[in-house]
Amino acid sequence: MKLLSWGANTYGQLGQGIKTEQCSLPGDVKSEYLDLNYLQSIVGGGGHTLVLDKSGHVFACGSNAKGQLGLDMNEEHLVFKKINSLSSHHVTQISCGWDSSLAVTKDGELFVWGSNTYGQLGIPKSKVQYSNIPIKIDVPEITSVSSGLRHTVMITKDGKVLVCGNGRKGQLGLIDDNGETIQQLEQPKEVPGMRNIHSAVCGQHHTIVLTSDGRLYGWGDNKHGQLGLNPILHPTLSSPKEIENLPHELNLNSKLFSGWTHIAILTENGKVINWGRNTYGQLGCHEFKRPASWKPIIMDNIGYVKQLAVGSEHNIAILDSGQMISWGWNEHGNCGVGNDDDVRVPTLIGTSMDHPGVLVGSGAGHSFATVH
- Predicted pLDDT at 353: 62
- Predicted pLDDT at 267: 98
- Predicted pLDDT at 91: 98
The 10s digit of each residue's pLDDT in 88-137 is: 999 999 999 999 999 999 999 999 999 999 999 999 999 999 999 999 99
User: What SS3 class is residue 38?
Assistant: helix
* Beta strands across the sheet bearing 197-202: 197-202, 206-211, 216-221, 236-243
- Predicted pLDDT at 355: 85
Residue 281's Cα: distance from chain center in Å?
Answer: 18
Quick check: 112 and 121 in contact, CB under 8 A?
Answer: yes
- Predicted pLDDT at 351: 60
- CB-based contacts of 59, cutoff 8 Å, min separation 6: 33, 34, 50, 51, 53, 80, 81, 82, 83
What is the residue-wise DSSP string for 61-85? EEE-TTSTTSSS--SEEEEEEE-GG
C-alpha 224/C-alpha 282 separation (Å) is 12
Delimit the domains of the chain by residue range: 2-371
**What fold does the segment set 2-371 form as a domain?**
Methylamine Dehydrogenase; Chain H (2.130.10)
Q: What is the pLDDT along the chain (372 residues), one digit of tens a residue?
A: 999 999 999 999 999 999 998 899 999 999 999 999 999 999 999 999 999 999 999 999 999 999 999 999 888 999 999 999 999 999 999 999 999 999 999 999 999 999 999 999 999 999 999 999 999 999 999 999 999 999 999 999 999 999 999 999 999 999 999 999 999 999 999 999 999 999 999 999 999 999 999 999 999 999 999 999 999 999 999 999 999 999 999 999 999 999 999 999 999 999 999 999 999 999 999 988 999 999 999 999 999 999 999 999 999 999 999 999 999 999 999 999 999 999 999 999 986 567 899 999 999 999 999 999
C-alpha 133/C-alpha 33 separation (Å) is 20
- Predicted pLDDT at 327: 98
- Predicted pLDDT at 76: 92
Residue 207 pairs in a beta bridge with 202, 219
- Predicted pLDDT at 352: 53
**What phi and psi, each to the nearest 5 degrees, are found at residue 149?**
-55, -50
C-alpha 128/C-alpha 133 separation (Å) is 11
User: What SS3 class is residue 172?
Assistant: coil
Going by C-alpha positions, the residue among 123, 98, 127 that lies closest to residue 110 is 123
C-alpha 261/C-alpha 222 separation (Å) is 8
